[in-house]
Structures are given as structure tokens and as C-alpha cells.
Amino acid sequence: MPNFGGYQNELYGAALSGVLPKVPVDYATLVARAEAAMPPYVLNYVQGGCGDETTQNRNRSAFDQWGMVPRMMVDASERDLSIDLFGMTLPTPLFMCPIGVTGICTQDGHGDIAAAQAAAATGIPLCASTLANDPLEDVLKASGETPGLFQLYTPRDPDLAASLVGRAEAAGYKAIVVTLDTWVTGWRPRDLNSGNFPQLRGHVLENYFVDPVFLKLLGKPVAGNLPEAIGLWSRLFGKVLTWDDMAWLKSLTKLPIVLKGICHGDDARRAVDAGADGIYCSNHGGRQANGGIAAIDLLPDVVAGSGDLPVLFDLGIRSGSDVVKALALGATAVGVGRPYSYGLALDGAAGAAHVLKCILAEADLMMAVNGYPSIAAVRAEGARRLG
């Protein structure tokens, strides 16, 4: 089995030759370096949340209220971190979350390709966003042998929705992740104060601008007609989805349908009844609605309501210990968001891969030290709420 914790030995070995990590291994220093490197309009969009960002901050701080109990005299010299997801056997439970401005996190404007290259280098799948600077087909191709998921912002035009999903299926993505909570944009003061909405300036819209249905609706080339293309995108973005739409969504593809934004156990049960293939517990990083409960605190109820369906989770993950805690509370797969975007900003694909390897190494070593040789052992022990 892979020894992911061995990455620390690589770093120590390189240091003996005078080579220190180009990208920091700890989150606090990573953030500080990224803040100095990223343009303000990109940084504000990546870091910003809704309202006074209370929910966003709770997503992170709530992890400190959960703890793991080590078990001794257990042979954890080898750890099995593999998971089964939608018919795939993946080497780790990690995936890269869809981030709508990944494309502009690198200086060359091809951050989506760089994230996919990080997926190829690490074996950690990318959940590619509809909002991208490169076509979804090119993004998956850059992922090499590592499978990918495609996140859908469902457009109001059903033919355009069918086209996006059909393209993702034809390209070879393994599941369609349907975001439920972004048919309208939440109140984001950081972006409002700076007048910053990248899409309205033509960024990360390439999946629309190359789509045959979108181009037919536009009735003219995008080149030379960018304001009209942006206006059409704005009018088409954001279909309000209800449970009645599940049959239509499932009719679009043979791929598994994962519902992203589920935070209530009853909604998880309804998703099961409606034929969903996976549940994605997420409050959009606190970017869409403020005043909510931290997602990690909602995860156990969502897992209980999901039955046998896999549960993806992605809020507030900053370290390997966070990953282990989410697994202990029942997550099948755990998404990393802002950390890899900072890695992209500092060193492109190599920077993102380094960040992911650091998080994975810490998770692996935590399991080793705590006597958890497998994810099943982590779940059996569970996480305990402090106090």
C-alpha cells in the first residue's frame, strides 16, 4: 500500500542538499504567501464569504471542537486509505473541490489545466467546475489517468444543460455534481466593495463560449461580441431546481448524479428517494448564505439520512487532521478547496500537488500514530465532540 506519509522523508532528504519547499507545508504560511502573490480581485473572490463571514469562519473553527482518540498496541505500520466511489477504486479519499475561479488563480490564466495536472501527479481527482478558463474536455485530458468529476451549474435553458452534461459524459467524467444553492449569488461584501464579479468581465466562461448550444443561442461568434455573450450567460445562469427536476436531471446522462449543497438529514433522505447516486454535504464555504451551522457539525445527520449512498464533504478542510475527522464522522470522500488554490497561485500545478501531498501525508501519519490502519478503523473509532 502507498506510504503517503513518506512525503515528509522526501522533504527532509531534499533539505540535506539545501533544498527547502518552494511552497509552505503549513496552512498559515501558505495563506500569507498566497495573499502576497495573488491579485486582490482574485484573492477577494477566493477568500471572501457571505455577509460578515460568520458561517465561513465557523466551517473552519468547528473542527477544533472535534477530537480523535488514539488506540495503542495496534499495527498501523501500513495504512489503507483507498475508497470505492461510483465504481472506482481510488487510492485516497481526497478530491479537489470545484472552485469557479481556479482558472485565474495562475498567472497564465490556465489554472484549471494546472489543477488537472496536479490531479495527474497525485492521483487525487479534480471536480472540475462549469466556470472555467479552459473547456471541460481539455481539463479532463490534462488529468491523465486520474479520473475526474464534473460540477454543473444548471442553466435555465434545458438544451444548454443537456449539452454541458453530454459533453462531460462524452469526455469521460465519472459523475455529474449538481450544485443546488447557487441559482442566485449570495451577499458578498468583499466583492461588492470592489465591484468584483469575474464572470461579468468575461472570466471563467469558456465552457459556455465553446458550447454549440450556447453559440446557437448567441447567434454570432463570441469574438468581437463579448458583451453580448456575457449578457446571454448572465440571463441563462441559475435554474431553480426542485425535487421534481430529479427525473429530468437523471434523463440527461447515464453517469451518477451527485447533489451538492445537502445539509439536512431529511433532504438527504429525499435525495435517496428521488434517485440520487451521491450526496455532497456543503454550504458552499459560507459564500452563499450567512448565519448557518458549520458543515462538519451537520455531516453526521446527512450521513445518517444518506443510507448506503456515498457522502462527499468539503467545508473547512485545511489539514490532514481535518480530513481524518471528516472521515470519522462518516464522509466517504473529502474535498480540499482553498488550500490547493493557494498552491496554484504560488507554483502552478507543482504547487497544488505539493499542498495536496502535504495534507495527505499528515492524514496518513495521523492514522499511523493513532493506531488506525484503515479508514474503516477511523470510522469505527469515530470523532468525539470536545466539552
Catalytic residues: 284
153 assigned ligand-binding residue: yes
Q: Which residues of 186-207 are buried (b: 16+ CB within 10 A; e: fewer)?
A: bebebbeeeebebbeeebbbbb
316 assigned ligand-binding residue: yes
188 assigned ligand-binding residue: yes
CA–chain centroid gap for 108, Å, is 22
**Angle 295-305/320-328 helices, nearest 10 degrees?**
30
Specify the DSSP element, H or E, that contains 84: strand 83-85
318 assigned ligand-binding residue: yes
65 assigned ligand-binding residue: no
203 assigned ligand-binding residue: no
Q: How far apart are CA 101 and CA 342, in angstroms?
A: 12
308 assigned ligand-binding residue: no
315 assigned ligand-binding residue: yes
Residues in the chain: 387
| Torsion angle of C-alpha atoms 60, 66, 71, 76, degrees rounded to 10 | -20
Half-sphere exposure of 223 (CA within 13 A, CB side): 1
Q: How far apart are CA 219 and CA 233, in angstroms?
A: 13
Name 9's Cβ contacts closer than 8 Å, sequence gap at least 6.
Answer: none
261 assigned ligand-binding residue: no
123 assigned ligand-binding residue: no
284 assigned ligand-binding residue: yes
Q: How far apart are CA 380 and CA 306, in angstroms?
A: 18
172 assigned ligand-binding residue: no
337 assigned ligand-binding residue: yes
280 assigned ligand-binding residue: no
129 assigned ligand-binding residue: yes
Q: Is residue 306 classed as helix, strand or coil in its secondary structure? A: coil
Q: How far apart are CA 349 and CA 121, in angstroms?
A: 9
Alpha helices (H) along the chain:
7-16, 27-37, 40-47, 54-61, 111-122, 136-142, 158-171, 189-194, 206-209, 212-218, 226-236, 246-251, 265-274, 295-305, 320-328, 338-370, 375-381
Phi–psi pair at 148, nearest 5 degrees: -135, 160
45 assigned ligand-binding residue: yes
Output Rg (C-alpha) for the chain, integer angstroms: 20
179 assigned ligand-binding residue: yes
338 assigned ligand-binding residue: yes
- Which residues are annotated as part of the binding site for FMN? 98-100, 129, 151, 179, 282, 314-318, 337-338
- Which residues are annotated as part of the binding site for glyoxylate? 45, 153, 188, 260, 284, 287
- Which residues are annotated as part of the binding site? 45, 98-100, 129, 151, 153, 179, 188, 260, 282, 284, 287, 314-318, 337-338
